[in-house]
């Protein structure tokens, strides 16, 4: 049944007593668009399309965009900035080109998909004798931004699982499998270099070199329990051998030190004795020279003078002790004279 608008108009006039007022007054904005006719509705439609379809994309630093037109990848990547595309026939895939990490650890960790870090279980390997060994390492790599469209077109968005991960596992198994488990800790640096060089060469051998290896760090070599115990025993034995060797060396050095001190003391005593002997010899030589000089200086006249002096003393002694006994000792040019008086208090000894 159609609605009678006249009824509402009459009722409104009766209630207000004035002219008709519509129940809703549209905004002036819509009145302007209604005056434009169909063009206004087209503008509104375009605004709604821009809001919901979003035909633009903003590429941030460290990323590139890959424009796909009806399923075909454009070879030129979109650099960071603002880009427009056609929503229905085109789309833009954003790819991270910053340095990414893969951690191979004994315990897996939860990581977000956009963090650029992946975590996998440690790589399990059999050594040269078939013993199980686990390797923990970290691989740093990044996608070449200029080759990103071709890489995604050939390898897909899971390119890391196809380019990096299998190569790392294969190289690690090939390198570590050459050694016995006991030798792995000793040759750790050599093994780390072999692993990094092998991974780098294998990945860079791909056509167009889509991925660059930044670094490979060997973090841990986990050995079987029995091998660890054997290595610890060997290390303890080596430490004990080094300690004994050190003690022997120390005792040898101590003995050499004592021998050197004893030799030094003996040399010192020998030098001192030689010095004393040389002093005596020099003194004897000097005395001999003096005696020769004295002997050469004893002329007959000098001896006669000495006799006269002694005779004078002899005469003086007789004056004092008339009863004295006089003893003459021959053998020299000037004899010794003892005057022995009768009184002990008056004994006099003259020596020339």
Global model pTM greater than 0.75 = no
Q: With bands split at pLDDT 50, 70 and 90, how would you rate the model's confidence at 66? A: very high
**Judgement on whether residues 289 and 321 belong to the same structural domain of the protein:** no
Give the separation between CA 176 and CA 222, rounded to whole angstroms. 12
Which one has a higher pLDDT value, 110 or 107? 107
Give the integer Cα–Cα distance in Å for 207 and 225: 43
pLDDT of residue 329: 55
pLDDT at 334 over 60: no
**Is 293 inside any structural domain?**
yes
Q: Mean pLDDT score of the chain, rounded to an integer?
A: 79
Residue 102 bridge partners (DSSP): 118, 139
User: pLDDT-based confidence at 263, cuts 50/70/90?
Assistant: confident
Instruction: Give me 156's structure tokens.
Output: 């897909």
Q: Is 64 helix (H, G, I), strand (E, B) or coil?
A: strand
Same structural domain for residues 113 and 192? Answer: yes
What token pair was written down for 301?
């006249």
User: What length is written for the chain?
Assistant: 352
Contact call for residues 338 and 327 (beta carbons, < 8 A) = yes
Alpha helix (H) residue ranges in 54-156:
148-155
What is the tens place of the pLDDT at every residue in 195-248?
999 999 999 898 889 999 999 999 999 888 777 777 777 777 778 788 888 888
Kindly report the backbone phi and psi dihedral angles of residue 235, in degrees, each rounded to the nearest multiple of 5, phi listed first. -65, -40
Residue 307 resides in a domain: yes
- 188, 223, 258 — which closes off a domain? 223
Encode pLDDT of 159-184 as tens digits: 999 999 999 999 999 999 999 888 88
Q: How many distinct structural domains can be found in the chain? A: 4
Whole-number pLDDT of residue 3:
47
Computed on alpha carbons and rounded to an integer, the radius of gyration of the chain in Å comes to: 62
pLDDT band at residue 272 using 50, 70 and 90 as cut-offs: confident
Q: Give dist(CA 197, CA 261) in Å, integer.
A: 58
Type and span of the H or E element at 136: strand 132-143
**Higher per-residue confidence, 191 vs 40:** 191
Per-residue pLDDT for 306 more than 80?
no
Judged against a pLDDT cut of 70, whether residue 344 lies above it is answered with no
Looking at the structure, do residues 218 and 316 belong to the same domain, yes or no?
A: no
The tokens of 224 are what? 């079987």
Is 135 within the bounds of a domain? yes
Residue 47: inside a domain, yes or no? yes
CB 69 within 8 Å of CB 90: yes
| 30 has pLDDT over 80 | no
- Looking at 53, 70, 91, the residue that finishes a domain is 53
Is 93 part of a structural domain of the chain?
Answer: no
What is the predicted pLDDT for the residue at 345? Answer: 47
Note whether 248 and 343 are same-domain residues: no
Structural domain contains residue 141: yes
What token pair was written down for 80?
A: 């960071």
Tokens 């790589």 correspond to 123
Q: What is the mean pLDDT of residues 77-99?
A: 90
Do 215 and 245 belong to one domain? no
Q: What are phi and psi of 100, to 5 degrees?
A: -115, 160
Report the 10 Å Cβ neighbour count for 6.
8
Question: Helices 38-53 and 28-36 meet at what angle, rounded to 10?
Answer: 110
Q: State the greatest distance between any 2 C-alpha atoms of the chain, in Å, as a whole number.
A: 202
At 211 the pLDDT is 94
Q: How far apart are CA 348 and CA 341, in angstroms?
A: 8
118, 217: one domain:
yes
Expressed as residue numbers, the domain containing 29 is 1-53
Report the distance separating Cα 322 and Cα 123, nearest Å.
135
Question: Judging by beta carbons within 10 Å of its beta carbon (0-12, 13-18, 19+), is residue 146 exposed, middle or buried?
Answer: middle
31 and 135 in one domain? Answer: no
- Report H helices in the chain: 5-16, 28-36, 38-53, 148-155, 159-163, 165-176, 188-204, 225-297, 300-320
Average pLDDT for 280-300: 80
> Residue 115 gets which letter from DSSP?
S
Question: Which pLDDT value is given to residue 325?
Answer: 61
Q: Residues 92, 165: contact at Cβ < 8 Å?
A: no
The H-assigned helical ranges of 60-121 are none
Do residues 146 and 214 share a domain?
yes
Rounded Cα gap, residues 337 and 348, in angstroms: 10
Bigger pLDDT: 79 or 18?
79
Run of H or E including 221: strand 211-222
Whether residue 80 is contained in a domain is answered as no
């Amino acid at each position: 049944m159609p609605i009678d608008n006249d009824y509402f108009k009459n009722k409104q006039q009766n209630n207000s007593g004035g002219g008709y007022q519509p129940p809703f007054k549209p905004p002036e904005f819509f009145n302007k668009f209604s005056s434009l006719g169909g063009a206004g509705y087209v503008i509104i439609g375009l605004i709604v399309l821009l809001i919901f379809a979003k035909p633009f994309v903003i590429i941030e630093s460290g990323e590139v965009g890959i424009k796909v037109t009806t399923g075909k990848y454009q070879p030129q990547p979109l650099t960071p900035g603002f880009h427009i595309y056609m929503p229905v026939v085109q789309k833009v895939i954003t790819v991270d080109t910053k340095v990414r990490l893969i951690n191979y650890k004994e315990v897996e960790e939860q990581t977000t998909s956009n963090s650029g870090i992946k975590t996998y279980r440690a790589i399990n390997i059999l050594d040269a004798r078939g013993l199980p060994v686990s390797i923990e390492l970290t691989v740093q790599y990044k996608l070449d931004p200029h080759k990103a469209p071709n890489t995604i077109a050939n390898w897909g968005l899971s390119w890391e699982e196809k380019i990096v991960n299998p190569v790392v596992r294969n190289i690690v198994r090939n390198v570590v499998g050459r050694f016995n488990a006991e030798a792995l800790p000793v040759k750790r640096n050599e093994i780390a270099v072999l692993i990094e060089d092998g991974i780098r060469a294998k990945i860079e051998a791909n056509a167009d070199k889509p991925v660059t290896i930044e670094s490979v760090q060997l973090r841990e070599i986990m050995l079987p329990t029995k091998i660890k115990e054997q290595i610890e025993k060997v290390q303890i034995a080596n430490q004990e051998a080094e300690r004994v060797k050190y003690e022997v060396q120390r005792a040898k050095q101590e003995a050499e030190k004592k021998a050197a001190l004893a030799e030094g003391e003996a040399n010192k005593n020998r030098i001192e004795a030689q010095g004393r002997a040389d002093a005596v010899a020099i003194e004897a030589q000097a005395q001999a020279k003096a005696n020769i000089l004295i002997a050469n200086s004893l002329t007959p006249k000098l001896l006669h003078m000495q006799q006269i002096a002694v005779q004078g003393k002899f005469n003086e002694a007789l004056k004092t002790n008339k009863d004295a006994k006089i003893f003459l000792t021959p053998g020299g040019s000037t004899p010794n004279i003892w005057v022995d008086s009768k009184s002990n208090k008056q004994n006099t000894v003259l020596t020339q």
